[in-house]
Amino acid sequence: MSLAEGAALPVAEPASSRLPLVKRLSAAFKASLPAYLLLLPSLIFLAAFTYGAVGRVIVDALYQRATPRAPSRFVGLDNLAAVLADPAFTGAVVNNLIYAVGTVVPSMALAFLFALALSRTNAVTSALRAALFLPVLIPMVAASALFLFIFLPNVGLLDHYIGRLLPVLPNWLGDPDTALIAIMVITIWKNAGYYMLFFLAGLQAVPEDAMEAAYLDGAGPWQRLRYIILPELKPTFLFVTVIAGLNAVTQVDHVFVMTKGGPSNATNLVLFYIYERAVEHYDVGKASAATLLSLGVLMGLTALSFRTIANREGGP
Amino acid sequence: MNPFKSPIKWLLKDTPLATRNEITPKLGFALVVLFALVWLIPFLWMVVATLRPASDGINAMAELMPNLKPTLDNIRDAWDIGDFPRYFLNTTIICTGILTVQFVTVTLAGFAFARLSFAGKTLIFYLFLLQLMLVPVLLIVPNLTLVAKLGLYDTLTGVMMPFFASAFGTFLMRQAFEAIPTELEDAALIDGAGVFARIRHIYVPLSLPSFSAFAIVSVTSHWNDFLWPLMVINSPDKRPLTIGLSVFTQTAEGTQAWGTIAAGTLIVIAPLLVTFLIFQKRFISSFVTSGIK
pLDDT per position as a tens digit, A157-206 = 898 888 778 877 888 898 888 999 999 999 999 999 999 999 988 888 88
- Collapse the DSSP code of B291 into the 3-class scheme (helix H, G, I; strand E, B; otherwise coil) and give the result: helix
pLDDT, position A2 = 41
* CB atoms inside a 10 Å sphere around CB B152: 16
**Which residues 121-160 in chain B show a CB within 8 A of chain A?**
121, 124, 127-146
Q: What is the pLDDT of residues B235-246, one digit of tens each?
A: 999 999 999 999
* pLDDT for the residue numbered B19: 44
Report whether B10 contacts B1 (CB < 8 A): yes
pLDDT of residue B22: 53
Contact B105/A45, CB-based, under 8 Å?
yes
pLDDT band for position B24 (50/70/90)?
low
Q: For residue B244, how many C-alpha atoms fall within 13 Å in the half-sphere facing its CB? A: 27
Looking at every residue in chain B, the average pLDDT score rounds to 87
Q: Give residue A18's pLDDT.
A: 65
Q: How far is B209 from chain A (nearest CA, A)?
A: 17
Partners of A74 in beta bridges: A63
Contact A278 B36 (CB under 8 A): no
- Pick left, alpha or beta for residue A156 (phi over 0 → left; psi -120 to 50 → alpha; otherwise beta): beta
* pLDDT at A84 exceeding the cut of 90: yes
Q: Which pLDDT score is estimated for A253?
A: 94
**Cβ-count burial A231-264 (b if 16+ within 10 Å, e if not):** ebbebbbbbbbbbbbbbbbbbbbbbbbbbebebe
3 state SS of B9 = helix
Tell me if chain A has a CB within 8 Å of the CB of B274.
no
On the question of pLDDT at A90 being above 80, the answer is yes
Of A53, A114, A159, which has the smallest distance from its Cβ to B142's Cβ? A53
Minimal-distance CA residue of chain A relative to B282: A130
In the structure, what pLDDT confidence band is assigned to residue A315 with cuts at 50, 70 and 90? very low
**Mapping DSSP to helix (H, G, I), strand (E, B) and coil, where does residue B19 land?**
helix
Instruction: Give A283 or A40, the one with higher predicted confidence.
Output: A40
B261 pLDDT higher than 50: yes
Q: Which residues of B touch A288 (CB under 8 A)?
A: 141-142
For residue B219, what pLDDT band results from cuts at 50, 70 and 90? very high
Contacts with A, B 84-113, CB within 8 Å: 104-106, 108-109, 111-112
- The answer to whether the CB of A163 falls within 8 A of the CB of A150 is no
Whether the CB of A126 is below 8 Å from some CB of chain B: the reply is yes
In this prediction, residues B33-37 reach a mean pLDDT of 95
Cis check for the bond before A263: say yes or no (omega within 30 of 0): yes
DSSP β-ladder status, A63-64 and A73-74: antiparallel
- Helices and strands in chain B: count of H runs, count of E runs: 15, 0
The better pLDDT of the pair A129, B22 is held by A129
CB atoms within 10 A of CB B236: 12
Binary contact (B284, A113; C-beta < 8 A): no
What sign does the CA torsion over B163, A251, B227, B86 have? positive
Q: Is the model's pLDDT at B92 over the cut of 80?
A: yes
CB distance B199 to B111 below 8 Å: yes
Residue A313 has pLDDT above 50, yes or no: no
Using CA atoms, how far apart are residues B181 and B188, in angstroms rounded to an integer?
12
Higher-pLDDT residue of B293 and B258 is B258
Confidence of residue A4 (pLDDT cuts 50, 70, 90): very low
- B170-179 mean pLDDT: 93
Which residue in chain B has the smallest CA separation from A55? B142
Three-state SS at B67: coil
Put simply, the answer to whether A35 touches B19 (Cβ < 8 Å) is: no
Among residues B239, B226, B47, which one has the least CA distance to residue A251?
A: B226
Residue A290 has pLDDT above 90, yes or no: yes
A204 with B109: Cβ contact below 8 A: no
Q: How many CB atoms lie within 10 A of CB A2?
A: 9
Q: Which of A25, A141, A147, A151 to mutate to test the interface with B (most CBs of B within 10 A)?
A: A141
Mean pLDDT across B119-145: 90
Q: What is the average pLDDT value for chain A, to the nearest integer? A: 86
A182 or A303, higher pLDDT: A182
**Buried-state track A18-48, b at ≥16 Cβ within 10 A, e below 16:** eeeeeeeeebbeebbbbbbebbebbbebbeb
Burial class (CB in 10 A: 0-12, 13-18, 19+), A69: exposed
Answer whether residue B18 shows pLDDT above 90: no
Q: B241-253 burial by CB neighbour count: b if 16+ within 10 A, else e?
A: bbbbbbbbbeebb
Of A70-74, A266-270, B45-49, B135-139, the range with the lowest mean pLDDT is: A70-74
Contact of B164 with chain A, judged by CB distance below 8 Å, is answered with yes
> Which of A156, A275, A298 lies nearest to residue B135, judging by beta carbons?
A298
Query: pLDDT-derived band of residue B189, with 50, 70 and 90 as boundaries?
Result: confident
b or e along B85-108 (b: 16 or more beta carbons within 10 Å of the residue's beta carbon)?
ebbbebbebbbebbbebbbebbbb
Give the integer Cα–Cα distance in Å for A129 and B12.
13
* CA atoms within a 13 Å half-sphere pointing along the CA-CB vector of B264: 33
Give SS3 for A54: helix
**Assembly ipTM:** 0.87
| SS3 category, A73 | strand
CA distances from B172 to A40, A107, B286 (A): 18, 27, 11
Task: State mean pLDDT over B60-78.
Answer: 88
pLDDT of amino acid A309: 63
pLDDT band at B32 (very low <50, low <70, confident <90, very high): very high
Residue A5 CB burial class (10 angstroms; 0-12, 13-18, ≥19): exposed
Comparing alpha-carbon positions, the chain A residue that sits nearest to B268 is A142
The CB density around residue B174, as the number of other CB atoms within 10 Å, is 21
**Each residue of A63-73: pLDDT tens digit?**
887 766 777 77
pTM, to two decimals: 0.87
